[in-house]
Amino acid sequence: MHLRSKPWAADWLLEHHDIVIDQDRAVKQRGDWQALFDEPQPIHIEIGSGKGQFILGMALAHPEINYIGMEIQETAVAIAARKSFDSVGKLPNLKFIYGNGAGVENYFEKEEVSKLYLNFSDPWPKTRHEARRLTYKTFLKGYEAILPEKGELEFKTDNRHLFEYSLVSFIDYGMRWTTSDFSLDLHADEDKVVGNVETEYEQKFMAKGQPIYWIKAHF
């Protein structure tokens, strides 16, 4: 969903360039992301971080991990970063990238990222837009290029068609998972929902009684 532009967003991002890294700077930072964090810790990224509820929640819950939220919409990344800054100040383990998730291998070196999250990505339902889906094979190739061997991708969605499409895409790419890392109704699985951090969309769909599809797959 495209958010209505906020007149304050561009200036806020410029003023807080230590929190939000633009696309050009992200490319130059390749191979040296740990230098931006207080501690050298595993880096987990979320592609399509939206308004930031998930990535902020994860950073607060896991101070032993460095998190980066990547978002292509200026308004969304500004809202996310300002939400974080206004609520808890400058977190030592959270940064944002204002940039495109396509070509993520241009931002990170192999094994520079330990885990990747995709949450409620745009389903792009039309067949002619298949290549825009974040679980399409070209995106998977980019993810594999920055993760370690058997690197982990965690994916949540409310969209059954996108979930089924993604399962096939993962299989075709050679990815694997176990039954304990898979759910057709995450919030009905008491064991699997432990530690789950909800996104804004997740809460919205749960309120409507829609199941949340979830998988944790490995390359």
Q: How do residues 59-102 score in pLDDT, each as one tens digit?
A: 999 999 999 999 999 999 999 999 999 888 889 999 999 988 88
Q: What is the model's pLDDT at position 154?
A: 99
Q: Tokens 């530690």 — which residue?
A: 195
Q: Mean pLDDT in the chain? A: 95
Work out the angle at residue 190's Cα, subtended by the Cα atoms of residues 185 and 193, and round it to the nearest 5 degrees: 70
Query: What is the pLDDT confidence band of residue 35, given thresholds at 50, 70 and 90?
Result: very high
Q: What is the model's pLDDT at position 1?
A: 55
Q: Which of the two residues, 172 and 99, has the higher pLDDT score?
A: 172
User: Has residue 126 got a pLDDT over 80?
Assistant: yes
DSSP letter for each residue of 43-67: EEEEES-TTSHHHHHHHHH-TTSEE
**Domains of the chain, with CATH numbers?**
1-113 (3.40.50.150), 118-219 (3.40.50.150)
Q: What is the model's pLDDT at position 6?
A: 82
Q: What is the model's pLDDT at position 40?
A: 97
Which residues belong to the annotated binding site for substrate?
Answer: 126, 158, 199-202
Which residues are known catalytic residues? 122
Q: How much is the pTM? A: 0.94
Which residues belong to the annotated binding site?
Answer: 46, 71, 100, 122, 126, 158, 199-202
Query: What is the pLDDT confidence band of residue 2, given thresholds at 50, 70 and 90?
Result: low
